[in-house]
Amino acid sequence: MHSLFNPTITDTKLAKSVSIFCKIMSSLTNTKSVSLSGVMLLLLPTPAFAFSAAGSTATAFIILILGGFTLLNLILNALFFFAGKYHSQRFSKTHTLCSLVIPLIALVLTLMDHRGFADLAFNIGLIIIAIALALLPLQLTLNGRAPTPYGPMILSLGAFLFLAISYLIPPVALFAALVAHVALQSQPDTKARIISFSALIIGYPLMAYWLYKTLQMFTS
């Protein structure tokens, strides 16, 4: 069954979709060795076989964006829990609402772009898992640890952990900046404050550089 919103897809549209997908992958992994034209030739359908790209957008979003976001969010959950941030119900509710944004976007994409019932059921199953993990802060609040003097230092070191990951995946610098801001709001000592400011000084330029390179890639 084809998507209700995109019943037929021509080779030209498929080539454009593959080109955009390859650009995103090249941008996210920060590599220049990927040959976009070679990947396009491998993925283009041959005359002997029928191929439809319906549903591929939602599936790619769920696997790459939602999957990566959920994994990074679990690291955030651990950092905030051990730092005692979930002792505040307001903080846990705010984190939960922010965590639900990406799964809801994935749900909309799945409903708009799917091949059939099996594809729809598979994607929705993954989204349900992601939503359940996004609600984890509410559960951690029930067993929340009280804030500790080491909380700001834990968050500051966590910010540098995300910076290390952003060396391979530049958008993760946004998580580093977020954790550093939370650490600065937690009344840190001098060492934690210096580490947090260092993470911000490194993270924001890295994020800006990635946005610039991504925009340049799509406009070239």
Boundary of a domain, candidates 148, 176, 195: 148
Residues 60 and 144 occupy one common structural domain: yes
Q: Which one is predicted more confidently, 57 or 191?
A: 191
Q: Which one is predicted more confidently, 108 or 17?
A: 108
Residues 144 and 62 occupy one common structural domain: yes
Residues 138 and 167 occupy one common structural domain: no
The mean pLDDT value of the chain amounts to 80
Boundary of a domain, candidates 129, 148, 167: 148
Residues 45 and 83 occupy one common structural domain: no
Mean pLDDT for the stretch of residues 51-68: 79
Lowest mean pLDDT among 31-45, 137-151, 171-185: 31-45
User: Can you give the pLDDT at residue 6?
Assistant: 44
Residues 42 and 60 occupy one common structural domain: no
User: Can you give the pLDDT at residue 142?
Assistant: 85
Boundary of a domain, candidates 54, 69, 94: 54
Contact 36, 23 (CB under 8 A): yes
Q: What distances in angstroms separate CA 110 from CA 54, 57, 99, one per listed residue?
A: 11, 8, 18
User: Can you give the pLDDT at residue 4?
Assistant: 41
- CA 174 to CA 204: how far, in whole Å? 8
Residues 79 and 104 occupy one common structural domain: yes
pTM: 0.73
Closest to 141 (Cα-Cα) out of 77, 60, 197, 216: 77
Residues 65 and 8 occupy one common structural domain: no
- CA 220 to CA 210: how far, in whole Å? 15
| pLDDT above 90 coverage of the chain, percent | 50
Q: Is it the case that residue 164 has pLDDT exceeding 50?
A: yes
Residues 185 and 130 occupy one common structural domain: no
Residues 30 and 101 occupy one common structural domain: no
Residues 217 and 164 occupy one common structural domain: yes
Task: Report the domain count for the chain.
Answer: 3
Q: What is the pLDDT of residues 89-126, one digit of tens each?
A: 999 999 999 999 999 999 999 998 877 888 889 999 99
Contact 196, 155 (CB under 8 A): yes
User: Can you give the pLDDT at residue 12?
Assistant: 53
Q: Is it the case that residue 47 has pLDDT exceeding 80?
A: no
User: Can you give the pLDDT at residue 189?
Assistant: 87
Residues 67 and 141 occupy one common structural domain: yes
Q: Is it the case that residue 2 has pLDDT exceeding 50?
A: no
Mean pLDDT for the stretch of residues 80-89: 91
- CA 170 to CA 162: how far, in whole Å? 10
Mean pLDDT for the stretch of residues 18-36: 52
Residues 24 and 37 occupy one common structural domain: yes
* Residue range of the domain that includes 166: 149-220
User: Can you give the pLDDT at residue 31?
Assistant: 44
Kindly tell me the sign of the dihedral angle through the C-alpha atoms of 51, 63, 37, 212. Answer: positive
Q: Is it the case that residue 38 has pLDDT exceeding 50?
A: no
Per-residue pLDDT band for 68 (boundaries 50, 70, 90) equals very high
Kindly tell me the sign of the dihedral angle through the C-alpha atoms of 69, 206, 30, 55. Answer: positive
